[in-house]
Amino acid sequence: MKPFPWHKGALETLAGARERLPHALLIHGAAGIGKVEFARALAAAVLCEAPKPAGACGSCPSCHWFSQGNHPDYREILPEAAAEDDDDAEPEGGGKEKAKSLVIKIDQIRAIADFIALSTHRSGWRVLVLHPAEALQPASANALLKTLEEPPPRTLIAMVSDQPARLLATIRSRCRRLALPLPGRGVALEWLRSEGIGEPEAALDAAGGAPLLARDLAEPEEAELRRRLLAELARPGGADPQFAATIDRTRLERSIWWMQTWVHDLIRARLAGDVRHHGGQAITIRARAKGADLDALLDLDRELAEARRLAAHPLNPRLVSEHLLMSYNRATSGAPR
């Protein structure tokens, strides 16, 4: 479990002081910087039987089991739907996709009670990584609270979140917070180049500086979605609401995300005169920002954020994107509202 280069310092600090680790750690920061991978690297370091200053040794029995995904003192909790994504599992026969749970269910939390209560198998440590923490339903969060209140010694519960503000205050208050920052630009670019990403600068800008997100965005299919959607948003007469028909459920969340980055750039162009995400289209964005209604853009930004939160739920994706494109047209048309 090798940490990303930009996480080495934080990992060393925590792994070097594992006897002083809190029971519960809330690891938070921007999406796409590798927080879950950090939590796993920390777990491997804590469970390692011959830890090195930089983290897990990589060769002891514990490290071996960890890398095989069957360490008896390690558990990971995530929503069903995310677990499917991890395995890249396509339903056989291409049948209608079964609705996978997007939340962490109370049964999943109850199922770890034994794991927490029973004795450990190896070094005496046990580690639970839970992500994303904002997927905890209120009932699940309440069930987890009891575990957070009285965990046995040498237990580490690491929760990972992009949006810690959405967690119950009672959960937050029981965790020590660890904010992982965006990596420095040089480190991120070097890593993207080592991953074979062409035009790493553009990808990193589009991702707001988050390298893993940048790598995802550079995928050909993603790049194509981005190109088509931004061309639509850049149209002088406004976006064609018919375009919504091409956005299916699997692309809704990412499409809304792209709209958000574009709207952020419009707002930025309006307020500060520069753009952050789409430097290659700065001229178009500035022109478009001039005629836009700033208040309407800020409203739209909030609307997009809300739509993104709901995007994973079974709504009608076409209606959602049509509505957002029309809001966008109103905000950028220059006509009084």
Size of the site for Zn ion (CB under 5 A): 5
Q: Does 60 bind Zn ion (CB under 5 A)?
A: yes
Q: Which stretch binds Zn ion (CB under 5 A): 49-57, 96-104, 142-150, 160-168?
A: 49-57
**Cα–Cα distance, 285 to 288 (Å, whole number):** 5
**Cα–Cα distance, 115 to 217 (Å, whole number):** 38
Give the nearest distance from C-beta 39 to Zn ion in angstroms. 17
Question: Residue 263 contacts by C-beta under 8 Å, 6 or more apart in sequence?
Answer: 297, 300, 301, 304, 328, 331
Q: Does 48 bind Zn ion (CB under 5 A)?
A: yes
By C-beta, is 60 or 106 nearer to Zn ion? 60
Phi, psi (rounded to 5 degrees) for 248: -90, 180
Please state, as a whole number, how many other Cβ atoms lie within 10 Å of the Cβ of residue 316. 12
Nearest to 19 by CA among 128, 156, 215: 156
By C-beta, is 11 or 188 nearer to Zn ion? 11
Please state, as a whole number, how many other Cβ atoms lie within 10 Å of the Cβ of residue 224. 10
Helices (H), 28-132: 35-47, 61-68, 80-87, 106-110, 113-117
Q: Does 63 bind Zn ion (CB under 5 A)?
A: yes
Q: Which residue has the tokens 């890593």?
A: 191
By C-beta, is 59 or 194 nearer to Zn ion? 59
The CA–CA distances, whole Å, from 4 to 14, 45, 122, 199 equal: 15, 14, 26, 20
* One character per residue 305-324, x = contact with Zn ion (rule: CB under 5 A): --------------------
By C-beta, is 77 or 156 nearer to Zn ion? 156
Q: 5 to 44, contacts with Zn ion by CB under 5 A?
A: none
Q: Does 148 bind Zn ion (CB under 5 A)?
A: no
Q: Does 212 bind Zn ion (CB under 5 A)?
A: no
By C-beta, is 52 or 290 nearer to Zn ion? 52
Please state whether the peptide bond connecting residue 132 to the residue before it is cis, i.e. omega within 30 degrees of 0: yes
Q: Does 57 bind Zn ion (CB under 5 A)?
A: yes
By C-beta, is 58 or 152 nearer to Zn ion? 58
Q: Which stretch binds Zn ion (CB under 5 A): 16-24, 29-37, 50-58, 175-183?
A: 50-58
Give the nearest distance from C-beta 73 to Zn ion in angstroms. 13
Q: Does 234 bind Zn ion (CB under 5 A)?
A: no
**Binding positions for Zn ion, rule: CB under 5 A:** 48, 56-57, 60, 63
